[in-house]
Amino acid sequence: MKASPSDQARLLELAALDAGIRHAEHARRNPAHTERVKELLAVRQAQSAELTGLLGARDDAKAELARIESDVALVDARAARDAGRLAATSNAKDAQALEHEIVSLTKRKSDLEDAELEIMERLEAADAAVAGQEELISATNAEGARLSAEGKAAVADATARIESATRDRSAVAAQVPADLVALYERLADRGVGAGALRQRTCEGCRMVLSGTDLQVLRRAEDDDVVMCPECGCILVRTGESGL
């Protein structure tokens, strides 16, 4: 195949644009932090389960405290009633029984108040544990939101780069003969479509050409479309080829 050196040089522009499109496509399909966001989802699920347990423990403490407070109120009411009866009775036997019950109620109230203090301490610790767990979840959510936003921005940026490079590619391809573009694209489908020969090295595969291969290239006309003997891409010769 024949093609002017300028048309062959444009293949390097196509190759660079295609490489940029591939890189952007990879970035769009694999946005930054994807794995970390997945990890954070699992972490948040575990943290939420832990919070559910802590909330349950706090609710149990609240319920127990309410029950004890109710019992204290009943004891106070019973003691007040007995005190009233004691003040009103003139029967020694009844008075003795009431006094005994008041002592028992006083002991019962003391025990309940001790238990109440213990439950209040548990409730305070439960509140602190819930607050701490909610802070962890909030931090996890914040990190997840930030990374998700960065990922979306990266996808949008990659999409914009793909669209821009695709437009540029169409403009460049329109300036190259159709048969040369077709050959380039067939080769690009299998690997590298075109690469410059620079200092006797094919930039398509980074292989240094042998003396024999270089001799063949020296004999080729400028408008001959030549291939790299190593990778098979179109080898674009320039003033830096070292021939």
Cα angle 188, 190, 193 (rounded to 5 degrees) comes to 25
| Residue 41 and residue 14 share a domain | no
| Residue 40 and residue 131 share a domain | yes
- Final residue of a structural domain among 160, 190, 221: 160
Residue 120 CA to residue 117 CA, distance in Å, equals: 5
Residue 102 lies inside a defined structural domain of this protein = yes
Which residue's structure tokens are 């109710």? 70
Domain hosting 100: range is 27-160
| Residue 193 and residue 107 share a domain | no
| Residue 183 and residue 155 share a domain | no
| Residue 100 and residue 49 share a domain | yes
194 conformational bin, left if phi > 0, alpha if psi -120 to 50, beta if neither: beta
Strand partners, 236: 196
| Residue 146 and residue 51 share a domain | yes
Q: Residue 82 is part of a domain; what is its CATH number? A: 1.10.287.1490
Q: What is the pLDDT along the chain (243 residues), one digit of tens a residue?
A: 999 999 999 999 999 999 999 999 999 999 888 899 999 999 999 999 999 999 999 999 999 999 999 999 999 999 999 999 988 888 888 889 989 999 999 999 999 999 999 999 999 999 999 999 999 999 999 999 999 999 999 999 999 999 999 999 999 999 999 999 999 999 999 889 999 999 999 999 999 999 999 999 999 999 999 999 999 999 999 888 877
The counts of H helices and E strands in the chain are 5, 5
Among 188, 200, 201, CA closest to 232: 188
Other C-beta atoms lying within 10 Å of the C-beta of residue 116: 17
- DSSP symbol at 181: H
| Residue 211 and residue 135 share a domain | no
How is residue 144 written in tokens? 């997840």
| Residue 98 and residue 16 share a domain | no
pTM of this prediction? 0.67
| Residue 66 and residue 107 share a domain | yes
Residue 210 CA to residue 230 CA, distance in Å, equals: 10
| Residue 45 and residue 156 share a domain | yes
Among 69, 77, 78, CA closest to 101: 78
Residue 166 CA to residue 100 CA, distance in Å, equals: 97
Residue 39 lies inside a defined structural domain of this protein = yes
Residue 167 lies inside a defined structural domain of this protein = no
Beta strands in 16-139 (DSSP E): none
Cα 168 versus chain centre, distance: 33
